[in-house]
């Protein structure tokens, strides 16, 4: 039964929605390309450690804040504050997260727009619309503006339908589709010449790079981005979880799926690069460095698909459809964060709130596109390198230092008393109090050097 403010109707529904938020361009594009330029399996290893030891505990903090609050991120955090100062601090963290989610969506929609146009290009080629195919494949202001706006409109249309009929329904459809496309593409690419060299580059670690502090910073940033932390998204998704569910295992499922898909995406992207290389496409620069991420995705891979002949059109379509689907299930979560706040704070109707906020975000996206070289990198850096780790850390501080330990335990074990004697409860409160804030702060300070 759904409550008035909306609730996920099932355990599966929540897992698909939260994993849908987590699994996005960060997994399928960011993780493999970061791995390839950071020492292959050494990066994977570091990522796994950070994802389970730091990002999972931080994810649990956000989920439990939301489930306890049963409200938007600001109100949920404010319920934990005991005095006016703490409540102000709660507002700062919750509202900061909402702004961060909105800003991430504004640049994410631009990249997702590129994916959408790349998905349509093979379709135009197949139906013989050579002019349209040409327009879709060439970067232009009109093309970028159009597809960014189309992508934001798609996101708005899902979010305006609410939690169960919008977020949950579409995540349950799109996530299985994503898995089918991903595995079919892997099966295909691994049969191609050059794939084995790619697999070796991915799975054989270069341990010397483990000591590189840059690797640690990149891996933590990637883990936070991938689990959508520090953006109030997981607080709001947590608030839609029924009190009967076991939060500890739900959070673990989401982390496992996220890490699994990132790892599996590596089995597609890195071998694909080497298959392209075997076909004569350059993937390394003259100095031996891997080419930039966008060169790889928008030049190397399309060149690879083209070289495959007839089947290439289909593979290219499937690849960019995969990227677009992954982006959509993430973007809906980013829009839900500010929309849920506006609906509850200003008593707006959901459709109205969604269009207003979607409109504001689209305006920011357009501004970024029109000032691309000055703004794109800046917004990415501001949100992912500073905003997310910092706000994620503050959520840990809230749970670890401000919330009463006994109340925290009763929320975590609601309907599942066995949690009180679990290994999780023995370790996690201590982790969230000391280890997470300190580790995040250290890595963060390191990244400033």
Q: In a 3-state reduction of DSSP, which class is residue 147?
A: helix
Which CB, 281 or 334, lies closer to ligand PFF?
Answer: 334
Instruction: State in angstroms the smallest separation of the CB of 318 from ligand PFF.
Output: 19
Q: Which sign, positive or negative, has the C-alpha torsion 396, 407, 347, 9?
A: positive
Which CB, 360 or 438, lies closer to ligand PFF?
Answer: 360
Q: Which sign, positive or negative, has the C-alpha torsion 395, 397, 398, 399?
A: positive
Question: Which structure tokens are listed for 285?
Answer: 């620069």
Instruction: State in angstroms the smallest separation of the CB of 340 from ligand PFF.
Output: 13
Binding to ligand PFF by residue 231, rule CB under 6 A?
yes
Query: Judged by CB under 6 A, which stretch of 32-40, 54-62, 327-335, 435-443 contacts ligand PFF?
Result: 327-335
Which CB, 6 or 24, lies closer to ligand PFF?
Answer: 24
Instruction: State in angstroms the smallest separation of the CB of 229 from ligand PFF.
Output: 8
Instruction: State in angstroms the smallest separation of the CB of 58 from ligand PFF.
Output: 13
When binding is defined by CB under 6 A, the residue of 233, 265, 335, 432 that contacts ligand PFF is 233
CB 171 within 8 A of CB 329: yes
When binding is defined by CB under 6 A, the residue of 148, 333, 354, 413 that contacts ligand PFF is 333
**Mask 170-189, x = binds ligand PFF (CB under 6 A)?**
--------------------
Composition of the chain by helix, strand, coil, percent to 5: 80, 0, 20
Which CB, 171 or 330, lies closer to ligand PFF?
Answer: 330
CB 123 within 8 A of CB 317: yes
Report how far apart, in Å, the C-alpha atoms of 9 and of each of 161, 227, 371, 388 are: 15, 22, 42, 29
Binding to ligand PFF by residue 112, rule CB under 6 A?
no
Report how far apart, in Å, the C-alpha atoms of 129 and of each of 121, 309, 329, 441 are: 9, 18, 30, 53
Binding to ligand PFF by residue 74, rule CB under 6 A?
no
First to last CA, the chain: 51
Q: Which alpha helices (DSSP H) does 227-309 contain, by range?
A: 233-239, 247-278, 293-295, 301-307
Binding to ligand PFF by residue 334, rule CB under 6 A?
yes
**Mask 10-29, x = binds ligand PFF (CB under 6 A)?**
-----------xx-xxxx--
Which CB, 237 or 355, lies closer to ligand PFF?
Answer: 237
CB 420 within 8 A of CB 413: yes
Which CB, 61 or 281, lies closer to ligand PFF?
Answer: 61
Q: Helices 195-203 and 41-50: crossing angle, nearest 10°? A: 50
User: Locate tokens 């991120």: which residue?
Assistant: 73
CB 159 within 8 A of CB 354: yes
Query: Judged by CB under 6 A, which stretch of 205-213, 297-305, 326-334, 360-368 contacts ligand PFF?
Result: 326-334
Instruction: State in angstroms the smallest separation of the CB of 7 from ligand PFF.
Output: 20
Binding to ligand PFF by residue 324, rule CB under 6 A?
no
Binding to ligand PFF by residue 117, rule CB under 6 A?
no
3-class secondary structure for 330-398?
A: HHHHHHHHHHHHHHHHHCCCHHHHHHHHHHHHHHHHHHHHHCHHHHHHHHHHHHHHHHHHHHHHHHHHH
Which CB, 21 or 160, lies closer to ligand PFF?
Answer: 21
Which CB, 29 or 424, lies closer to ligand PFF?
Answer: 29
Binding to ligand PFF by residue 104, rule CB under 6 A?
yes
Which CB, 103 or 195, lies closer to ligand PFF?
Answer: 103
Which CB, 171 or 333, lies closer to ligand PFF?
Answer: 333
Pick from 231, 259, 329: which is nearest to 27 by CA?
A: 259
Q: Which residues contact 281 (CB under 8 A, 6 or more apart)?
A: 300, 303, 304, 307
Which CB, 171 or 231, lies closer to ligand PFF?
Answer: 231
Binding to ligand PFF by residue 226, rule CB under 6 A?
yes
Binding to ligand PFF by residue 330, rule CB under 6 A?
yes
Binding to ligand PFF by residue 101, rule CB under 6 A?
yes
Instruction: Please list every residue from 371 through 410 that binds ligand PFF, using CB under 6 A.
Output: none
Instruction: State in angstroms the smallest separation of the CB of 329 from ligand PFF.
Output: 9
Binding to ligand PFF by residue 159, rule CB under 6 A?
no
Q: Which residues contact 94 (CB under 8 A, 6 or more apart)?
A: 72, 73, 74, 75, 76, 77, 78, 232, 235, 341
Residues at the contact surface with ligand PFF, assessed by CB under 6 A = 21-22, 24-27, 101, 104, 225-226, 228, 231, 233, 330, 333-334
């Amino acid at each position: 039964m759904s409550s008035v403010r909306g609730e996920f109707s099932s355990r599966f529904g929540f897992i698909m929605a939260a994993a849908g938020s987590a699994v996005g361009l960060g997994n399928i594009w960011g993780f493999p390309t970061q791995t390839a330029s950071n020492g292959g399996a050494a990066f994977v290893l570091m990522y796994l450690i950070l994802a389970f030891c730091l990002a999972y505990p931080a994810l649990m903090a956000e989920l439990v804040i939301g489930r306890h609050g049963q409200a938007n991120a600001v109100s949920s955090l404010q319920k934990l504050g005991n005095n006016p100062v703490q409540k102000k601090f709660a507002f700062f963290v919750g509202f900061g997260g909402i702004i961060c989610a909105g800003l991430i969506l504004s640049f994410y929609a631009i990249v997702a727009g590129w994916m959408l146009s790349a998905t349509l290009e093979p379709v135009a080629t197949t139906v013989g619309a050579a002019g349209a195919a040409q327009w879709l494949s060439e970067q232009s202001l009109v093309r970028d503006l159009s597809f960014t706006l189309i992508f934001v409109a798609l996101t708005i249309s899902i979010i305006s339908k609410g939690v169960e009929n919008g977020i949950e329904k579409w995540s349950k459809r799109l996530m299985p589709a994503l898995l089918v496309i991903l595995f079919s593409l892997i099966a295909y690419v691994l049969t191609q010449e050059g794939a084995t060299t790619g697999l070796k580059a991915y799975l054989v670690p270069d341990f010397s790079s483990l000591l590189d502090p840059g690797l640690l910073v990149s891996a933590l940033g990637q883990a936070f981005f991938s689990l959508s932390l520090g953006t109030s998204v997981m607080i709001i998704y947590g608030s839609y979880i029924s009190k009967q569910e076991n939060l500890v295992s739900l959070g673990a499922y989401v982390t496992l799926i996220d890490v699994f898909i990132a790892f599996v995406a590596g089995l597609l992207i890195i071998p694909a690069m080497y298959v392209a290389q075997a076909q004569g496409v350059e993937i390394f620069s003259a100095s031996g460095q891997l080419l930039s991420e966008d060169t790889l995705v928008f030049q190397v891979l399309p060149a690879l698909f083209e070289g495959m002949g007839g089947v290439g059109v289909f593979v290219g379509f499937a690849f960019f459809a995969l990227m677009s689907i992954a982006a959509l299930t993430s973007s809906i979560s980013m829009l839900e964060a500010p929309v849920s706040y506006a609906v509850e704070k200003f008593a707006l109707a959901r459709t109205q709130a969604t269009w207003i906020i979607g409109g504001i975000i689209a305006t920011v996206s357009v501004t970024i596109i029109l000032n691309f070289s000055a703004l794109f990198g800046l917004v990415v850096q501001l949100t992912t390198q500073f905003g997310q780790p910092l706000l994620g850390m503050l959520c840990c501080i809230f749970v670890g230092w401000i919330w009463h330990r006994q109340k925290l335990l009763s929320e975590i074990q609601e309907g599942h008393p066995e949690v009180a004697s679990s290994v999780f409860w023995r370790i996690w409160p201590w982790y969230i109090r000391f280890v997470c804030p300190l580790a995040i702060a250290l890595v963060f300070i390191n990244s400033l050097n």
